[in-house]
Structure 1
Amino acid sequence: MIYYVGVDVSKNKLDCLWLRDPENNKVKTRVFDNTAKGHQQLGQWLLNNIKAKPEEVYVVLEATSVYHEALTYYLHNAGFLVNVANPARVRNFAKGLGVLQKTDKKDSAVLARFGYQNGLQLWQPEPDEIRKLKSMLSRLEALESDLLRELNRLEKAEISNSSDVVIASLHKMIGELKVEKNRVEQEINDHIDQFPHLKKDRRLMQTIQGVGPVVSRLMLSVIHSRDFKSASGVAAYLGLVPKLRESGLQKGRSHLSKVGPANIRAKLYMAAVVAIQHNPDIKAQYQRLLSNGKTKMQAIGAAMRKLVQICFGVVKHQSEYQPQST
């Protein structure tokens, strides 16, 4: 027998709900601190109350920035069944239940009910090399953002004829940020090169016109983060599947679902713009969609999706990209 639990995760606390009787909607709730001690207390509370083995307890949480990660690993290592649910799927499920007002207790109830009605979908930890790669990529992105902000400040300072002290300080910070950015970038490349499968997969993806060093390392972190069964699964994870507008002035038009990591979509957008010019398959698709009446943004969205699908294909088949169009 499987017992269903929902945990609404926030920065400081965990709202836990055990769905004691799904048919009659009887529940038991408890709030814990989102700390290592709180995680242990939550796990013990579940075992004490449910009177079941960890492998009989199915805990559903949402992906919430980084705040769910420590609890997820704790529960998995303790033997519980864990599902880190896509927030977009949970929102749609909640709408179907008629849950309109958002509270922590209602959110945990929705998560428990989501697990009960959708069957077991088990989370598995990412390979250690991918977890480390993601953390380094996140640090690199932060450095790039800091560098861009300082460059913008320098531009404003020079236009406004600011103090020489301020301009000198900005130049110093920009120089240090560039050095650190280059160092972290080299660490990322060295990390990838340590693992033959990552090194090879990155090389294969870089045979695709439109995919360079930046997109290839990002796609490595995505494709190897979980057991994707198909290219469409990767595209859905990245929020690149078309979704039909159901209201408003653009009713009937499709747009990207935009769930998942926005930073990766931003990089894929730039890569798709390049691929439209230089990749024969994506260029042909782009022109065909425009001639069929699609907007430029819809055609670019399709180009992003196809680029992801090609990346998945060369990794899955372990072969270099061979254009189908001439």
Structure 2
Amino acid sequence: MDIIVGIDVSKERLDISIAPLGTAFFVENSHAGLDDLIRRLKATHGAEASCVVALEATGGFEMLAAAGLSSAGFAVLVVNPAQVRAYANAIGRRAKTDPIDAEVIAAFVAATRPEIRPLRDAETQALSALVDRRRQIVQMIVAEQNRLRMVVETQAQQSIKRLLAALRRELDSLDADLDEHIRKSPLWRVRERLLVSVPGVGPATARTLLAEMPELGSLDRRQIAALAGLAPWTRQSGQWRGKSFIGGGRGKVRAALFMAALVASRHNPILKAFRDRLVAAGKPRIVAIVATMRKLLTILNAIIRDNKPWQNA
């Protein structure tokens, strides 16, 4: 009998529901609470492949529990809260409390049987945090540059310039930290060189992929596109045919690929010809760019899989 442990995560506590046994309890969202949870699960069920633990993504509050349970040998899933809420609505569970949410998470996993993927290790999580922080600093620099163009008062201009100088120093420091982090791993060094060999892909895109998509090279082209949220989904009913859309998946990867595709559609001969053919065939430019993103990701996936750098065909 499969055991599914649903956990609703908040800053202070973890609410646990175990299906199909109906057991429910809570522990603190702390190292001590997590140790207590692991002891109780092992004492009752053991850390077996048939015992699956599912948590909602909650902006980081789930990271301690997910890492600890995975290290203890449990199969861990971090599920999309929007999908869980949609499932709850579909089965008529309108009430929403932490214990109920834990029960719904367990029921959602039992019903949908999502694929269990290995969680990112501590080094990959640290790389992801640095990549995120670099993205935030770049966004702040762009915002301050826009303000500088609008401000005419001298003192305000000087304030913005001082802040820009500080932000650029911090950006340089983060780039140095990222360089050092990449150098720690021979595998990352090799993969970064392979990724940046593709015209249009720079270090920022390569490092985002290393941090946010460790599955790169291990999945087929359809699976990797779906993981990034670049697989189009169709809307139709009877004779009606709606437009196809992309969505879901890993937004940070998609954002990095969008910028890379814009550059590649100008400077990468193969991807430029691909984008130009789509535009010439009447496709809207944004549709052509999305298709270029998907093709670029397919190329990068093959490069990592085959361990061979880009070659102009």
TM (norm. structure 1) is: 0.82
Structure 2 distance, partners of 1:242, 1:101, is 33
What whole-Å deviation, never above 9, does each CA across 1:226-267 have from its counterpart, x for those lacking one? 8842233332222111122469xx961011114323x33223
Amino acid paired to 1:79: G
Amino acid at match of 1:74: G
Q: What per-residue deviation string (whole Å, max 9, x for no partner) do you get for residues 49-92 of structure 1? A: xx322325321112232111100111122333322234465456
CA RMSD across the alignment: 2.9
Q: Within 5 Å, which residues of 2 pair with 1:78-93? A: 78-87=72-81, 90=84, 93=87
Question: Quick check: 1:53 aligned with 2:46?
Answer: yes
Unaligned runs of 5+ in 1: 22-26
Contact 1:237/1:259 (<8 A) preserved: yes
CA separation of 1:312/1:132 partners in 2, compared to 1, >3 Å: closer, same or farther? same
- Is the deviation greater in 94-103 or in 301-310? 94-103
1:234 aligns with 224
Give the alignment of 1:8-27 within 5 angstroms.
8-21=8-21, 27=22
Partner of 1:24: none
Indicate whether 1:174 and 2:154 are aligned.
no
Between the two proteins, what is the percent identity of the paired residues? 31
How far apart are residue 178 of structure 1 and its match?
0.7
Question: For the Cα contact (< 8 Å) 1:130–1:225, is it kept in 2?
Answer: no
Q: 1:209 to 1:252 in 2, by over 3 A?
A: same
* Corresponding residue to 2:270 among 281, 289, 297: 281
Of residues 148, 151, 155, the one that matches 2:145 is 151
- How many residues align structurally? 310
> What CA deviation, in whole Å up to 9, does each residue of 1:182-238 have, x standing for no partner?
121122123223322222221222221211222122122234268842233332222
User: 2-side partners of 1:91 and 1:290: how far apart?
Assistant: 39
- Contact 1:219–1:311 at 8 Å: present in 2 too? no
Q: How far apart are the structure 1 equivalents of 2:227 and 2:271?
A: 21
Alignment of 1:223-302 (within 5 A): 223-224=213-214, 228-245=218-235, 252-261=242-251, 263-302=252-291
TM-score by length of 2: 0.85
Change (3 A) 1:194 1:44: closer
Which residue does the alignment assign to 1:133?
A: 127
Q: Structure 1 residues 189 and 232, CA, compared in 2 at 3 Å: closer, same or farther?
A: farther
What per-residue deviation string (whole Å, max 9, x for no partner) do you get for residues 260-302 of structure 1?
Answer: 23x3322321211222222233233323433554322222111
Question: Aligned equivalents of 2:227 and 2:287: distance in 1?
Answer: 18
| Structure 1 position 316, deviation (Å) | 0.9
- Closer/same/farther in 2, CA of residues 45 and 237 from structure 1, 3 Å limit: same
In the alignment, which of 181, 189, 193 is matched to residue 191 of structure 1?
A: 181
